Amino acid sequence: MVRKRNTRLGNKYLVLLILAVFFIACKDDPKTEFLEEELAIIEEVPEETYEFGFNLDNYVVKRDTIKKGDTFGVILERNQIGYPKIFHIAEKAKDSFDIRRLQVGKPYTLLCSKDSLELPKCFIYQPNQEEYVVINFHDSIYAYNSRKPIKYVEKVATGVITNNISETLEEQGLSPRLAYKMADEIYAWTIDFRRLQKGDRFKVIYTDKYIDDTIYTGVHNIKAALFEHNKEPFYAFEFETDSVKGIIDYFSEEAKNLRRAFLKAPVKFSRVSSRYNLKRRIAVYGYRIRPHKGTDFAAPIGTPIMATANGTVTESKRRGGNGNYVKIRHNATYETQYLHMSRRNAKVGQFVKQGDVIGWVGMTGNTGGPHVCYRFWKNGRQVDPFKQKLPEAKPISDSLKVKYLDFIAPIKAQLDSISFREEILEETLENKNNLISFKN
């Protein structure tokens, strides 16, 4: 349908071009005066608007968001559809979409007839920016799930640190997500971003994500980066080490994993409110020793709690003073546990990756304030994670190393060919001075 429209528009412009050329060539011929009138009455044909696979020009489009108390039935009844038909629609659509899953705040669109009644012909629900559900009841009733077209645009960025990386990116109008990804996902174990030096510099190849070509949804991923800290270069290349589990990591130019096996904390932007202490005494209990075998990270209710390492969920339940908690086995040596969650987001047997959100901070169980109690086991015994010499993340296997080095070779060449920002500015200034000298 879009191709036909483009062809029609192309033909229209071709006709206009031929008429215009003919008119100019014959402008002195009185017989061609009629062409002025013909050209004057040819109006611009407005481009048709398509969304969700529909030509919106054929409908009255009503957009809204799910309000508290709204249901599929309530929305259709409010728009003049009777309950017998609503029930019939819901029954036909239930195999593709459960209408009870509508969430408050999510957008929906009604495509209505272009007449005085404006009766709904189609209901479209968007659970997120990419996906949408179509329940069409124009002629026959059917429902399906789909997603908007996604476009990924590769970009490069460079910068020189004057204060911090966020400020450097902001000055260039770049997404702060780049700073987060470099500081927390790539270089968290190799560079302390709180102690960057003036003159440190970086260049990065990354991908921006767009929905429907126009809706910018932020940085999708970082393909490669080079960060010079204290004049020492730190390369990072994205590489998938396990296609089955979807494990992606960052490695140096020598195939060394840049990560550690465990994150330093299960929550971001938090503080340690109580450390691991086997000799803790509490006044409420008469200053008797009450060992604290976890590390408490204070954070607001609802703060995401992350798995500190890859592993398999062995427990996910609510019990006694622990409240809602999740326990993860990482390997034969290490286990971690996360207590007092408001809600859990992991099931027993589920494989979770480092950084996955497994729940949210709460106050369930025995707790005096919102926090997550992080417990760490080594060989079946609870220990202080801050006093452990934790291993590095799993290195690339010998069989994958050759593949990795071949994979990054062209990417490294691309990265190395990018000039640092100050080099570009110096070159521009030099060219400008050369031009002034030439003119003089």
Arithmetic mean of pLDDT, 291-308:
89
Q: How would residue 94 be classed by pLDDT, with cut points 50, 70 and 90?
A: confident
Same domain? 19 vs 80: no
Provide mean pLDDT across the span 61-84: 94
Indicate the range of 114-118, 157-161, 433-437 predicted with least confidence.
433-437
Residue 273: predicted pLDDT: 79
Q: Given this model, what pLDDT does residue 25 score?
A: 53
Condensed to tens digits (0 to 9), the pLDDT of residues 79-92 reads 999 989 999 999 98
Reply yes or no on whether the pLDDT at 194 is more than 60: yes
The reply to whether 403 falls in a domain is no
Residue 171 belongs to a domain: yes
Q: Of the candidates 100, 128, 147, which is a domain's last residue? A: 147
Q: Are residues 164 and 139 in the same domain?
A: no
Q: Is 417 within the bounds of a domain?
A: no
Is residue 63 located within the same domain as residue 97? Answer: yes
pLDDT over 90, % of the chain: 47
Point out the domain boundary residue: 217, 251, 285: 251
Answer yes or no: is pLDDT of 48 > 90: no
Check if the beta carbon of residue 165 is closer than 8 Å to that of residue 196: yes
User: Minimum mean pLDDT among 69-73, 106-110, 257-261: which range?
Assistant: 257-261
Name which residue leads in pLDDT, 202 or 13.
202
Q: Are residues 276 and 373 in the same domain?
A: yes
Share of residues in the chain with pLDDT > 70 (%)? 81
**In-domain check, residue 359:** yes
Q: Is residue 233 part of a domain?
A: yes
Task: With respect to residue 434, please indicate whether it lies within any of the assigned structural domains.
Answer: no
Q: Of 65, 152, 138, give the one whose Cα is nearest residue 103.
A: 65
Segment 353-375 shows an average pLDDT of 91
14-27 pLDDT per residue, tens = 555 555 555 455 55
CATH of the domain at 69: 3.10.450.350
Report the 3 state secondary structure along the chain. CHHHHHHHHHHHHHHHHHHHHHHHHCCCCHHHHHHHHHHHHCCCCCCCCEECCEEHHHCEEEEEECCCCCCHHHHHHHCCCCHHHHHHHHHHHCCCCCHHHCCCCCEEEEEECCCCCCCEEEEEECCCCCEEEEEECCCCCEEEEEECCEEEEEEEEEEECCCCHHHHHHHCCCCHHHHHHHHHHHCCCCCCHHHCCCCCEEEEEEEEEEECCCEEEEEEEEEEEEEEECCEEEEEEEEEEECCCCEEEEECCCCCECCECCCCCCCCCCEEEECCECCCEEHHHCCEECCECCEEEECCCCCEEECCCCEEEEEEEEEHHHEEEEEEECCCCEEEEEEEEEEECCCCCCEECCCCEEEEEECCCCCCCCEEEEEEEECCEEECHHHCCCCECCCCCHHHHHHHHHHHHHHHHHHHCCCCHHHHHHHHHHHHHHHHHHHC
Q: Which residues of 274-301 are buried (b: 16+ CB within 10 A; e: fewer)?
A: eebeeeeeeeeeeeeeeebbbbbbbbee
Which band of pLDDT confidence, cut at 50, 70 and 90, is reported for residue 284? very low
Residues 65 and 104 in one domain: yes
Higher pLDDT, 28 or 146: 146
Instruction: Specify if 256 maps to a domain.
Output: no
Same structural domain, 315 and 361: yes
Q: Does 327 lie in the same domain as 360?
A: yes
Q: What is the domain-level CATH number for residue 379? A: 2.70.70.10
Provide the domain limits for residue 103: 54-147
pLDDT at 365 over 50: yes
- Say yes or no to pLDDT of 181 above 70: yes
163 and 180 co-located in one domain: yes
pLDDT confidence of residue 436 = 59
pLDDT, residue 2, reads 37
The pLDDT tens digits of the residues spanning 110-132 come to 999 999 999 999 999 999 989 99
Cβ neighbour number for residue 426 with a 10 Å cutoff: 12
Same domain, 7 and 71: no
Weakest-pLDDT range from 50-64, 185-199, 233-247: 185-199
Same domain? 173 vs 276: no
User: What is the C-alpha separation between 176 and 158, in angstroms, rounded?
Assistant: 14
Q: In what helix (H) or strand (E) does residue 41 lie, and over which residues does it extend?
A: helix 33-41
Measured CA to CA, the distance from residue 344 to residue 428 in angstroms comes to 55
At 5 the pLDDT is 43
Q: Please check whether residues 226 and 299 belong to one and the same domain.
A: no
Report which listed range, 195-204, 392-401, 428-437, is most confident. Answer: 195-204
Asked if 268 contacts 427 with a C-beta cutoff of 8 angstroms, the reply is: no
Catalogue the E-assigned strands of 114-252.
120-125, 131-136, 142-147, 150-160, 201-211, 215-229, 232-242, 247-251
Q: At which of 147, 168, 200 does a domain end?
A: 147
Tell me, what's the pLDDT at 424? Answer: 60
Looking at the structure of the chain, the number of domains it has is 4
Distance CA 62, CA 54 (A): 14
Question: CA gyration radius for the chain?
Answer: 30
The model's confidence at residue 142, banded by pLDDT at 50, 70 and 90, is very high
Residue type, 57: D
Residue at 217 is within a domain = yes
291 and 369 in a single domain? The answer is yes
